Amino acid sequence: MNDWPRSEKKRRKAPPISKRSVAILLATSLFCGCTVGPNYRKPAVQVPTVYHGASENMQAQAVSYADLPWWQVFRDSVLQELIRTALKQNYDLQLATERITAARAQLTVTRSDQFPQVDASSVATDGKFFSGGFPAKTRYGTYAADAVFQLDLFGQLRRATEAARAQLLSTQYAQKTEIVTLVSDVASDYFSLLALDLQLQITRDTVETQQDAVKLTTLRVEHGVATRLDVLQAQQVLDTANAQIPELERQIAQLEDAISILSGDYPHGVARGRKLVDQPIPPEVPPGLSSSLLARRPDIFQAEQNLIAANAQIGVAKAAFFPQISLTGSGGGAAGRATVFSTLLNSNLGTWSYGAQVTAPIFEAGRLRGNLRAAQSQQRQQLIAYKQAIQGAFRDVSDALIGYEKYHNVRVEQEITVKDLQDAVQHLSHALPRRHRHLPRGP
């Protein structure tokens, strides 16, 4: 290399960097900048591998009954119409939808700070006055335009946009949570209403049966095979059944009011479809894998988006410690004419200017540090809320599985009890004399 001619060495030197290249590099570095604050990382949460209260056959199935749409789960035409009406008219769902609109508008407002802001104004005048005792006319107009662009060197505006976008997604997941809750509430109240209808019918049948029992016991007293105490006990059972009817009717009316409000209407009666005993029995309820719960519940997604927004707000608070640079520019002019002593005078004037403004915090009396601590505390609160939402989701599933399994066992035992009572009634019917088997109903 040292043996090369001097001219060759000069020819191979790197070309000098032009002023234009330097300006481009500086402008690129100014516009790109950096982003302070922590980047979001999904927190690691330990979740159970199995559901508490679920049997082994439930744990083994991966396809969940919850994956089915509600119109396939609830196969009652009246219930389906109630749910459709609620999805259209429920006020809580309408509020959740409007919050999405507001959050989308707020995202547009926040994101607009990343772009130049340009304002324009103009003024036109037309007047007459006297100059030195002689009339004069004037007509002129002024116009001006101002532009301001804040350089996002430390990512304050980008972090604010990130937080606003996360808030928008949070409101969207809140709407989905409201839809799931609304469908569940309407269906739950509807089936509770059918259960109360069935219970009321059973109670009325019990009253009729117990009236026959009182008459039968009275006949037994007349024939000397029962005592007055037996009649009083049978009458007590009849009085208890009669007292249950108004209470059941009260519960039915209030439940109809609840369904009406969920449907976005004033309280009124609710139509019924199939009776409770005629409703199709759903299949076994396999909950699916534990990890799939995190990808299905909208309330968990909502809590995570709140966490993302709070995490971005830390960057906004940290960027406030650094200088803020704004580029400004303005331009304008004036044009018009004046008539003095029958002489026409025209004028035209234009001006423009540009500059940069730098503001840096020097003494804020702890305001910036307080904002940063508040943002960090808010982020920790949302992290706790996120973990709490996951914990609550697993509790909901566990409670549902325990209730499903135990209520199933209760139903099996009740069916056995009903069969035993039917056998006892048949045995008593055969044991009674023929003339006592058919008694008139009613008082």
Q: Looking at the chain, how many residues does it have?
A: 443
What are the backbone angles phi and psi of residue 133, rounded to the nearest 5°? 85, 0
Question: 374 CB contacts (<8 Å, ≥6 apart)?
Answer: 317
- Using CB atoms within 10 Å of the CB of residue 78, give its burial: 0 to 12 exposed, 13 to 18 middle, 19+ buried: middle
> In the sheet where 134-151 sits, what is the strand order?
117-131, 134-151, 324-340, 343-359
CA distance 283 to 275: 19
101-111 pLDDT, tens digit per residue, is 999 999 999 99
Asked if residue 316 lies in contact with residue 163, where contact means CB atoms within 8 angstroms, the answer is yes
Residue 123's DSSP bridge partners are 142
Pair of tokens at residue 340: 């003095």
Phi/psi of residue 65, nearest 5 degrees:
-65, -25
Q: Which residues pair with 148 in a beta bridge?
A: 117, 328
The sign of the CA dihedral 383, 387, 392, 394 is: positive
**Residue 242, CA atoms < 13 Å, CB-side half-sphere:** 9
Q: Binning pLDDT at 50, 70 and 90, where does residue 154 land?
A: very high
Phi/psi of residue 320, each to 5°? -70, -15
Give dist(CA 309, CA 414) in Å, integer: 52
Q: How far is CA 226 from CA 52, 86, 297, 433, in A?
A: 53, 57, 63, 15
135 - beta bridge partners?
130
Query: Of 158-162, 208-212, 439-443, which range is least confident?
Result: 439-443
CB 354 within 8 A of CB 327: yes
Q: Indicate the range of 23-37, 75-89, 116-130, 180-194 predicted with least confidence.
A: 23-37
Whether the Cβ atoms of residue 286 and residue 58 lie closer than 8 Å to each other = yes
Q: State the chain's mean pLDDT as an integer.
A: 82
Tell me which amino acid residue 53 is. Answer: G
pLDDT value of residue 295 = 73
pTM: 0.79
Q: What is the pLDDT of residues 215-243, one digit of tens each?
A: 888 888 888 777 888 888 888 888 888 99
Tokens, residue 15: 């070309």
Pairwise CA distance, residues 185 & 178, whole Å:
10
Q: pLDDT by residue (tens digit) across 43-67? A: 988 877 777 766 655 544 445 556 6
